[in-house]
Amino acid sequence: MTRGDGHLSHDLLPGEKNPQDACGVFGVYAPSEEVAKLTYFGLYALQHRGQESAGIATSDGRKILVFKDMGLVSQVFDEGALEALTGHIAIGHNRYSTTGASVWANAQPTLGPTSTGTVALGHNGNLTNVPDLLELLEERDSAGHRRLEGGVTDTTVLTALLGADDFSANLADAAMALLPRLRGAFSLVFMDENRLYAARDPQGVRPLVLGRLADGWVVASETAALDIVGATWEREVEPGEMITIDAEGVHSQHFATPDPKGCVFEYVYLARPDTSIAGRSVHASRVEMGRTLAREHPAEADLVIPVPESGTPAAVGYAQASGIPFGQGLTKNAYVGRTFIQPSQTLRQLGIRLKLNPLKEIIAGKRLVVVDDSIVRGNTQRAIVGMLREAGAAEVHVRISSPPIQWPCFYGIDFATRDELLAVDKTIEEVRTHIGADSLGHISTEGMINATEIARERLCTACFTGEYPIEPPVNARHLLATQPVEVP
C-alpha cells in the first residue's frame, strides 16, 4: 500500500494483508475558490487513508455534481474533470473498503434524494449497528431500500436515512435526529445544495478538524490536508458535535455527550507524521515511541534501520536513545502505486523486492536493529529478515513501536480476524522464531500511550488490549474468537 505522504507501508506478500485505513474525508465551503481543485489537493494529502477509489461532489447552490472512480486521486481526476465540477461547496473522499466490496458502486461520496433536494456524503469509520439502521430505514421510508446506491454499506444506509420520508425536511434537523442513533466510529462530511456539514461520533475515534480559509472553511480528516490547501487550523470537530457551514459562517450543535476515545493506532501508524491529533504531533509521538522502545528493549548492535517509511520516526528515536547510529538499510521504489496488474509467479516469489531492496554495502557484516510499526501476520517481517540476512547482515534484531496486535478493530481499520493475527496465543519467543529474528521486542502498552501524551482513558486501545469502548457488532463475534464461533 503506497501512502500519499510518501509513506511506503508494509509491502504485501502473497496472502499478506496489513492494517488498512477506512478512508479520508475533506470538505470546503469557499465562494471565491475553485473548490474542486482545493478538494483534489486535500484528498492528495489524505491518499494514505485509502487507495481504492476517490470522489468529489460540488454544488453551485442549484445542483450537486459528483465525479468518482476506482484508483488513486491522481488516476481518477484530470484537469477537465475538475473544471467541470463547479460551485462553492465541495466534499471529497478516499476509500479503503472495510464494509462492502471494492467496486465503483461503493465509491464515495454517495448521493441521495431528500424531500428538499439532494445529499452527498463521505464517511470515515465503521458503524456497528447497521442492522438496526436498516430496520429504522424500513420503518421510516417504505422506499428506503430502493435508495441504497450500489448495495448495503454503512454509508449507503446513512445516505438513505438522511433522505427518509419520516425525518424532517431540513437536512440539519434530519441529521440531528439520526446521529444519536448511530453506533460505532464515524467522521462524516456531507452537503446539500447550500450547506456543508461535518459530524464526529461521541468517542471521536477517527480524527476530524476544522480549518479557516481567507474566504471560507475547510474540514478534513487530518491537519496535513489543511496545510496543503493553505487553511489555518481552527479546532477539532468535537466528539458528538455536528457543524453546519453556510454563508453566515460555522454553526455548532451537539447531538451527544462527548466521551473521547481516540484511536491510538492513528499515532502509531495511520495518520501522516506531519499531522497533529488532539494537540499532539504524530511525528513527535512516533519518535518518542522509538526512544521508549530503546529503553525497554535495548540491543547490542551497529546500526538502526527503519522499514520505510512508516518505521522511520520510531527508528530515529531508537537511535537517539540508544546511541546506535541511524542508517537507511532498505531503499524503496517511490513510484510503486496501486496497480490492477497481477505480478507473474516469478515476481510473486520475489515478494517485497518489488518495493523494498537492501543496501548491501551498508548492512553487510552489521548487527542491525530493524524498527517497524506493527506485526499483523508476520509474513512481511519474516521476508525482510530473510532479505537482510541474504544481504550479509550479521544479526537482525526486530523492534516494534506498538504492542502485539491481538484483537480486530470494528472502528475503521481492516485488521485480520483473531485466528489470523500472529501474536494471538503465541509468546514473543514463538513470534521471534516465526520471523527468524535474533531478538524481538515490542513497546509496552503503557510506553506507547505515554508517548502520545494523551490520557489513557481518552484513547481506544482495543486492538492491543481487547477493551472495546463501543460494543462490537453482534454478528462479528466470530472475529473475536480463535476458534470457529457460530454466528446467528
Question: Does residue 173 carry a pLDDT above 90?
Answer: yes
The verdict on residue 271 lying in a domain is no
Please check whether residues 286 and 242 belong to one and the same domain.
Answer: no
The verdict on residue 18 lying in a domain is no
Which pLDDT score is estimated for 226?
98
Q: Specify the number of domains making up the chain.
A: 2
Supply the CATH number for residue 28's domain: 3.60.20.10
Higher local confidence (pLDDT), 107 or 288: 288
The verdict on residue 2 lying in a domain is no
Of 225, 260, 295, the residue at which a domain comes to its end is: 260
Candidate list 23, 409, 460, 463, residue with the active-site label: 23
The verdict on residue 266 lying in a domain is no
Please check whether residues 330 and 464 belong to one and the same domain.
Answer: yes
Domain that includes residue 433, residue range = 282-480
Please check whether residues 205 and 333 belong to one and the same domain.
Answer: no
Supply the CATH number for residue 415's domain: 3.40.50.2020
d(CA 28, CA 100): 27
Mean pLDDT, range 287-308, rounded to an integer: 98
Please check whether residues 320 and 238 belong to one and the same domain.
Answer: no
Mean pLDDT, range 455-472, rounded to an integer: 96
Please check whether residues 384 and 251 belong to one and the same domain.
Answer: no
Question: Does residue 347 carry a pLDDT above 80?
Answer: no
Please check whether residues 238 and 287 belong to one and the same domain.
Answer: no
In the residue annotation, 23 being an active-site residue is answered as: yes
pLDDT digits (tens, 9 = 90+) for 5-58: 222 233 333 334 445 446 899 999 999 999 999 999 999 999 999 888 999 999
This prediction has a pTM of 0.89
Please check whether residues 311 and 243 belong to one and the same domain.
Answer: no
pLDDT digits (tens, 9 = 90+) for 181-231: 999 999 999 999 999 999 999 999 999 999 999 999 999 999 999 999 999
Which pLDDT score is estimated for 419?
83
Please check whether residues 52 and 98 belong to one and the same domain.
Answer: yes
The verdict on residue 418 lying in a domain is yes
Which pLDDT score is estimated for 247?
95
| pLDDT over 90 percentage in the chain | 73
The verdict on residue 450 lying in a domain is yes
pLDDT digits (tens, 9 = 90+) for 35-44: 999 999 999 9
Please check whether residues 246 and 309 belong to one and the same domain.
Answer: no
The verdict on residue 5 lying in a domain is no
Mean pLDDT, range 132-139, rounded to an integer: 89
Please check whether residues 463 and 332 belong to one and the same domain.
Answer: yes
Please check whether residues 231 and 304 belong to one and the same domain.
Answer: no
Which pLDDT score is estimated for 379?
87
Of 208, 228, 260, the residue at which a domain comes to its end is: 260
pLDDT digits (tens, 9 = 90+) for 374-407: 999 898 899 999 999 999 999 999 999 999 999 9
Mean pLDDT, range 150-175, rounded to an integer: 82
The verdict on residue 460 lying in a domain is yes
Please check whether residues 333 and 249 belong to one and the same domain.
Answer: no
Which pLDDT score is estimated for 481?
61
Of 228, 260, 292, the residue at which a domain comes to its end is: 260
Which pLDDT score is estimated for 215?
94
